[in-house]
Amino acid sequence: MLGSELSTIWAILIAVAVLLYAALDGFDLGVGILFPFAKDGHERDQMQSAIAPVWDGNETWLVLGGGGLFAAFPKAYAALMPALYLPIFLMLLALIFRGIAFEFRHHGRKTGKRWWTVAFAGGSITAAIAQGLVLGGFIQGVNVVDGKFVGGPLDWLTPFSLLVAAALTIGYALLGGAWLVFKTQGELFERARTWVKRLAILTALAMGAVSLATLGVDQRVTYRWGLTMTSIDWPTFIQLAPLPLVCGLLCFLLWRGADLRHHAAPYLYAVGLFAVGYVGLAVSLWPYIVPFAMTPAEAAAADNALSFMLWGAAPMLPIILGYTAYVYWLFRAKVTDEATDH
């Protein structure tokens, strides 16, 4: 296989891993973001039970994203990670608190449990914000010369990255709320429906704001969408216009699904929303793996490394998806009212 084909395949695989991470761990983080809005400790136990058996597998997609980038695109990994040093560590530290809180909340006594409840919510919120800062810093491009990061330690901190961080946090909260609609019943189900309806509107606004702001980060993005400061290239724009329209439609369907008391539909629409937004982003940034500095072919590992890994990934990824689906099937039932009874 040609090197450029291999690097394209790996770019797609890693992009899919990151999207799966967002769709899956996104709802885990979302549940944590919604923790402060729960009625009481019992309701928070139910919320945590709705994700406890699967969060660890979900987070593994983040390890595949990071490890996969190291293995398949070492030069992109080496350029991006130093550029995003501080938000990456903020994310990792926040994920530590989020992750251990699953176990520690059960073992803490009165004060301990209260503290780990705060750690779970705070860790989830901070991780979502940090991931948004990483994403924002990534989209706006990093300062690379000869494959090395040459910018400053706070280059990622801009109004744009803060906007993306806010939007991603809202988006994860939406996924979390929709997951709770799917997994809970009774009072919490009703509360989650209200959350989803509000968050659907907020997400629509946030996505619109990020989309417009993304057009401004680099002229290449503006041209990609057929836009300039003064004119619109209609044939180009019309081709891509369905993306924002579908997003708007999905937000409406989500709101309506929650309103009509559908159980699974809101989560599926929310995932659809993430997927379409993600495609929109990919369209904007194509063909860069380090925006405006490196393409996948330039950043890729040696061809033999890429094909060696493909021999493993080709059988393993379907197997992983298979047993992941099995675990989800096994825990498909709604959380019962005695929430702690896993």
Closest approach, Cβ 35 to another protein, in A, equals: 11
Residue with Cβ nearer another protein (79 or 217): 79
Check binding of 45 to another protein (CB under 8 A): yes
Which residue, among 119, 115, 93, 131, has the nearest Cα to 32 in the 3D structure?
A: 119
Residue with Cβ nearer another protein (109 or 229): 109
CA-to-CA distance for 186 and 105, rounded, in angstroms?
Answer: 23
Closest approach, Cβ 44 to another protein, in A, equals: 7
Residues in CB range of 163: below 8 A, 6 or more apart: 136, 209, 210, 213
The interface with another protein within residues 322-341 (CB under 8 A) comprises: 323-324, 327, 330-331, 340-341
The interface with another protein within residues 259-298 (CB under 8 A) comprises: none
The interface with another protein within residues 50-109 (CB under 8 A) comprises: 52-54, 56-57, 59-60, 62-64, 66-75, 77-82, 84-86, 88-89, 92-93, 95-97, 99-100, 102-109
Which residue, among 44, 71, 328, has the nearest Cα to 192 in the 3D structure?
A: 44
Check binding of 16 to another protein (CB under 8 A): no
CA-to-CA distance for 255 and 265, rounded, in angstroms?
Answer: 10
Closest approach, Cβ 174 to another protein, in A, equals: 24
Check binding of 246 to another protein (CB under 8 A): no
Residue with Cβ nearer another protein (38 or 281): 38
Which residue, among 191, 29, 262, has the nearest Cα to 254 in the 3D structure?
A: 262
Residues 181, 189: contact at Cβ < 8 Å? yes
User: For the chain, first and last CA: distance in Å?
Assistant: 48
How many residues contact another protein, by CB under 8 A? 81
Residue with Cβ nearer another protein (111 or 231): 111
CA-to-CA distance for 122 and 333, rounded, in angstroms?
Answer: 28
